[in-house]
Amino acid sequence: MRDKLRKRIALSAVTALTLFVAVPVYADTYDAVYDDAALLSDEEQQSLSEEITNLQETTGWEVYVLTTEDAQGKTAREYADDFYDTTATGDDGVVFLIDMDNREVTISTAGEAIYYLNDDRIDDILDNCYDYVVDGEYASCFSSMLSDAEYYYEVGVPSDAYTYDEETGEIHYYHVLTMGEILFAVVLAAAVFAAVFFGITGKYRLKFGGGYQYDYHAFGKVNLTGQEDRFVNQMVTHRRIQTDSGSSGGGSSHSGRSTVHTSSSGRSHGGGSRKF
């Protein structure tokens, strides 16, 4: 009787363990694919999910593939921006959207992705995927965009990268410290520390290894002085670049430029789009 009971308990435990291990792996497969317009088959969704996982592991970004047939009265850009702002948990990422309502393929970038996928590169990505979306090969369109995004990440941020705010005209340059600059900063910090350290030990004649005691009666003086700072003026310089309003993703003449705008939630986004 006891042997039968033990066998039943063991069998139940094995069954529960099998279900526990097997179910979550499949449930998380489509987390980054939102096919609201039903343009993708199950096999295509799974294949795109694997490509997204590879891109996420390479870049550290949050990556989403999205389709819709109802943009809720928004432009394709607004829809993609709002989706990222309400779905993503991180600052760096990209949304690839096929909007059947506005008949537009759109890319929305955030954070670090803005610099890697600048205006010129987004134009190239849209060029490469355009024929696919026109022909109704939506999975191939997404796959092309994902592949190009990974390629440009591996190429790196252009040396002349900067953002241009289309609403304010403000420009912010992207700068990455070189190894020489890092080493210089380390050496400079070490030199400053050494100068301060040996200056203090020399001034107070500190000796190491002995029973030295600081004579606070002789040297412990405190001088308090008053100082008043007045804020006089502040000057902010804005540079405005003339742009071609007919281009949705930038232009080849701007090289490292990433045009940015502010979404309804207040987040800065880059990106571009193409009608089909």
Q: Is residue 186 within 8 Å of residue 162, measured between CB atoms?
A: no
| Residue 119: per-residue pLDDT | 98
pLDDT band, very low/low/confident/very high, at 251 (cuts 50, 70, 90):
very low
Helix axes 119-134, 138-155, angle to 10 degrees: 160
Least confident range of 27-41, 48-62, 102-116: 27-41
How confident is the prediction for the chain on average, in pLDDT? 79
**99-125 pLDDT tens trace:** 999 999 999 999 999 999 999 999 999
The domain spans of the chain are 1-28, 31-226+233-272
Given a cut of 70, is residue 182 above it in pLDDT?
no
Can you tell me which residue has the tokens 């200056």? Answer: 199
How far are the Cα atoms of 62, 136, 270, 271 from residue 247, in angstroms, in the given order? 27, 24, 14, 12
Average of pLDDT values for 49-66? 98
How far are the Cα atoms of 249, 251, 254 from residue 246, in angstroms, in the given order? 9, 10, 15
Average of pLDDT values for 9-14? 51
- Name the residue with higher pLDDT: 86 or 9: 86
CA distance 44 to 30: 11
Can you tell me which residue has the tokens 């890319």? Answer: 107
**186-213 pLDDT tens trace:** 666 666 666 666 666 666 555 555 555 6
Least confident range of 82-86, 187-191, 204-208, 246-250: 246-250
Q: Is residue 212 within 8 Å of residue 206, measured between CB atoms?
A: yes
- Name the residue with higher pLDDT: 166 or 8: 166
CA distance 176 to 86: 30
Given a cut of 50, is residue 129 above it in pLDDT?
yes
Secondary-structure class of domain 31-226+233-272 per CATH: alpha beta
Among candidate residues 145, 127, 129, the one with its CA nearest the CA of residue 137? 129
Lookup: tokens for 219:
């040297």
| Residue 31: per-residue pLDDT | 83
Cα Dmax for the chain = 92
Among candidate residues 249, 263, 258, the one with its CA nearest the CA of residue 79? 263
- Cβ atoms within 10 Å of 82's Cβ, excluding its own: 20
pTM over 0.75, yes/no: no
